[in-house]
Amino acid sequence: MFDMIRNVLKNMVSKPATRNYPLYKRPSFKDTRGRVGGNDMEKCIFCGICSRKCPSQAIKVNKTEKTWEIDPFKCVICGECASVCPKKSIYMDEQYTPAAYRKEKSILVQTPKPAVSDDRVIA
C-alpha cells in the first residue's frame, strides 16, 4: 500500500514521461522508412514488380490504363516496393502516417506526354 502511495506522489511532482504528440513531434531518425511517399509517374514503367513483391498486396499496377494504386491501410511499411523498383520511381517518406478519417486509396495515373510537333520548314 505504501509503495503505491509513494509511486503516486512521485508521479505527481515529476514531469510527464510521454510527449504531447500533436504539439511536440519527435524528429525522425536517419533512414526511417515512415510511409510510402508516392511514385514518380514520369519514371514508372508499370512493370508490376512492386505489386508482386508487396507482402500485403497493398499495391496494384494496371499497365494498360497506366495506373498505380496503393492502399495505405494495407501497407506494412516494409519498404520492399521502393527497394525492388528498377527505375527507383517509388520513394519512402520519413514522416509519420497522419490520422485518417476515411479509408481512401491513393491512385496515381500517368498522363500522356504532349506530342512534340515538328514545325520545320523545308525550303
* Distances from the Cα of 77 to the Cα of 82, 90, 114, angstroms: 10, 13, 35
Q: What is the mean pLDDT of residues 91-95?
A: 82
Residue 77 has pLDDT above 80, yes or no: yes
Say which residues have a Cβ less than 8 Å from residue 94's Cβ, sequence separation at least 6. 28, 32, 33, 34
pTM of the predicted model as reported, rounded to 2 decimal places: 0.66
Instruction: Lowest mean pLDDT of 12-26, 85-99, 105-119, name the range.
Output: 105-119
**pLDDT band, residue 105 (cuts 50/70/90):** confident
Computed over every residue of the chain, the mean pLDDT equals 83
Give the separation between CA 95 and CA 89, rounded to whole angstroms.
Answer: 18
Q: Tell me which fold the domain 31-97 belongs to.
A: Alpha-Beta Plaits (3.30.70)
Whether the CB-CB separation of 96 and 33 falls below 8 Å is answered with no
116 strand-pairing partners: none
pLDDT score of 122 = 60
Residue pLDDT, tens place only, 35-70 = 888 889 899 999 999 999 999 999 999 999 999 999
pLDDT score of 123 = 54
Domain positions in the chain are 31-97
